[in-house]
Amino acid sequence: MITILAAIAGLAVAVPAAAQFYSDSVLFLKAVKDRNGTDATDLLNKPGSTVVNSRDITSGETGLHVVVDRRDLTWTRWLIQEGGNPNIADNRGRTPLIAAAEIGFLEGVEALIAGGARVDVANQTGETPLIAAVHSRNTQLMEILLRAGADPDWADNTGRSARDYAALRGVPPRILSIIDSTQTTDGAAASRVYGPVF
């Protein structure tokens, strides 16, 4: 009986000790996945904390990927406000903006762009958010991305651009007309500036 009690007591001590082996990054991503704002805030507020851009070691996803995939606008805005980088790609080359575009999460796309997401970044297949919008015939998403300066002539790995896909047989003419309507008076696409402007 004493041996059993000693084993149980040893387990009780071992559980908290095992929890110490989890890094703050792992705990932060778990808090984000569990929608545990208290734990996430506590980890973010630790002195010198950089957990907001922690990446899952198996998928490469950040907290922003997690909240975008679940279409959670509140958490998306909060993580951006806390310094979440919207331009970190996961292991498949997907940034949170690409993920939001793929699922048609319009509010998330707008929040990510406002938070500094680059609109002409591509995944492993070379597909940009605008190409994803053309494939899904999501005209609202196309308009948001084009207003933000997305390049309709950026080609994917097959050599086709959003404009090329929009011009394919069977695609409603309105898709191409949305792209064409973003041209400036001199015929050049609207210009974009990334990085600091001095």
- 123 vs 145: CA distance, rounded Å: 16
Could you identify the residue written with the tokens 């979440």? 84
Tell me how far CA of residue 40 lies from CA of 64, 166, 182, in angstroms: 13, 42, 41
H or E segment at 103?
Answer: helix 96-103
Number of Cβ within 10 Å of residue 49's Cβ equals 16
Question: Model pTM?
Answer: 0.80
Q: What does the pLDDT read at residue 138? A: 96
Q: Which residues contact 44 (CB under 8 A, 6 or more apart)?
A: 28, 51, 52, 82
The mean pLDDT values, 10 residues at a time, for the chain of 198 residues are 53 46 88 96 93 96 98 98 97 96 97 97 95 96 97 95 95 93 51 46
Confidence (pLDDT) at 194: 44
Same fold, 22-118 and 126-182: yes
Q: If you ran DSSP here, which 8-state letter would residue 189 be given?
A: B
Q: Cα separations (Å) of 97 from 37, 65, 71, 109, 180?
A: 23, 9, 12, 6, 23
Domain boundaries, the chain: 22-118, 126-182
Q: Give the CATH H-level superfamily of domain 22-118.
A: Ankyrin repeat-containing domain (1.25.40.20)
State the pLDDT at residue 79.
97
Assigned CATH topology for domain 126-182: 1.25.40
Beta bridge partners of 71: none
Residue 173 confidence (pLDDT): 93
**Per-residue tokens: 145:** 């991305």
Residue 182: per-residue pLDDT: 78
